[in-house]
Amino acid sequence: MLSDSLRVMFSARYLYLLGRAGATFASLTLALVYSRDLGVVNRSSISVIMSTNALLWVVLTSGATLTIRKIGWKNAGNGVIRSFNSVIAGQFAVIILIYLVVINLYSQIKNPIALNLMILSLFYVTASGIHLILMELLISAQRFKSAGILEILTVVSQLTLYITGSHIYDLSTTARLLLAFSFSYLLVSTVALYLILETKKFTFGLSSPWEFLQRSRYNHVLGASLGFLDRIDRLLVGFLLAAPILGKYAVATSLITLLRFFPDGVSKLIMAKKVTLKRFIFIRRELVVISGILLSVFVISFSREVVYFWLGPDWVLGISIYAAIAMQELSRGLFQIVANQNILNDSARAVHRAAVLVPILAVLSAIIGLNLFGIIAVPGAFCASYLTGIVVMRRRYVS
């Protein structure tokens, strides 16, 4: 019995979850390091660059990557892979175009961004997109242990390159950060590509995107919805409130996303058909609720103390805002897991409806709430919207 338990604990899928946890902790450390170096205003500009990049890549590619995970890399024929490549190539062109529009708009109306940093940020956007796609393909190939290790390697190499770059005096802190992230992504992407080709070789090429788009018909909305919601809150704060506020909010949300790694990892494993929610049924609901509350209290207290001692009191937001962000993360995690399980239970249409409703409700209520209640309205509106989406999915599923 003990050996069986250890074998399960150290199986590839659980090592992947541990890898994501390690990467999350490492990325939080990195965020604290470069936040102090940048200062509140420059941290706001970097937040807009990174949030826009992540939002666009996840929103536009999530349907394609979800579909390839469901198909499985080993089961995908060359025709499907070439069609997938065409879809990603088209999405890349759209991402670059929209990114330039958003960054130029922010630079004009909120906080000026130098031309050389805009060009450098394009390199960053390209490298991060390559990294995202190849890591998703690695999961599709069921190389979970390798994916977990590479998640950690990505953040460790980013921190190493960032610190090493401090000896190059001609580089600004912002440029050093973007270069560190970009080269780290390319390094890890090279390793991921090697492992993918080791699992199954294929010929590079393009074909009609319609074959793959037809397969992913109902898979685009959930990932796009979550990707949109994960980043649009920062953009709302960045465009509608003063620039320094975004810097503080970005640091707070970065720390509290510690609550996100488990539902993220479980959802990816669910879609790769490696776990189901039945594996978690033996856990009592009361234990889950109590654990969630205790973990949230710890993360909130830890986050505020870390920000206070590392960055200073000027970076600290009110405890009610931290609590609201934590509630937003917990409700997001539940929404993500329930939605992915519903997709595998052939309830994709219900997920589609909920995934369309939640972003609309969240953004509208956040914009209205910002004028009435201030910044706390953003996480509060998003939390309420996630819970509404869960109710919609459960009602559709039951009926």
pLDDT tens, residue by residue, 212-252: 887 776 666 777 888 899 889 999 999 998 888 999 999 99
**Mean pLDDT in residue range 383-398:** 83
pLDDT at 57 over 90: yes
pLDDT at 41 over 90: no
**pLDDT higher at 329 or 201:** 329
Nearest partner of 267 among 5, 55, 19, 66, judged by Cα: 66
Helix, strand, coil abundance in the chain, percent, nearest 5: 85, 0, 15
**pLDDT higher at 324 or 210:** 324
Burial class (CB in 10 A: 0-12, 13-18, 19+), 108: exposed
- Tell me the two tokens of residue 183: 């080269």
Q: Which of 118-122, 141-145, 309-313 has the lowest mean pLDDT?
A: 141-145
Contact 216, 64 (CB under 8 A): yes
**Mean pLDDT in residue range 361-387:** 94
**Mean pLDDT in residue range 292-304:** 84
pLDDT at 170 over 80: no
CA–CA separation, 292 and 125 (whole Å):
34
CA–CA separation, 262 and 183 (whole Å):
27
Cα separation of the two ends of the chain: 41
Confidence of residue 288 (pLDDT cuts 50, 70, 90): low
**How distant, in Å, are the alpha carbons of 85, 144, 214, 293 from that of 77?**
12, 21, 15, 46
**pLDDT for position 338:** 83
**Mean pLDDT in residue range 308-319:** 92
119 φ, ψ to 5°? -65, -45
**Mean pLDDT in residue range 144-150:** 86
**Mean pLDDT in residue range 338-345:** 76
What pTM does this model have? 0.82
**Sequence-ordered strand ranges (E) for the chain:** none
Confidence of residue 9 (pLDDT cuts 50, 70, 90): very low
Q: Which of 16-25, 81-90, 277-286, 371-380 has the lowest mean pLDDT?
A: 277-286
Average pLDDT, the chain: 83
- Tell me the two tokens of residue 303: 């986050």
**Mean pLDDT in residue range 252-269:** 70
Top mean-pLDDT range of 13-27, 120-134, 232-246: 120-134
pLDDT at 386 over 50: yes
Q: Give, as one character, the DSSP assignment of residue 259.
A: G
Helix (H, G, I), strand (E, B) or coil at 10: coil
Q: Which of 153-162, 165-174, 226-235 has the lowest mean pLDDT?
A: 165-174
Q: What angle do CA 216, 222, 228 make, to 5 degrees?
A: 120
Q: Which of 18-27, 176-185, 237-246 has the lowest mean pLDDT?
A: 18-27
Percentage above 70 pLDDT, the chain: 84
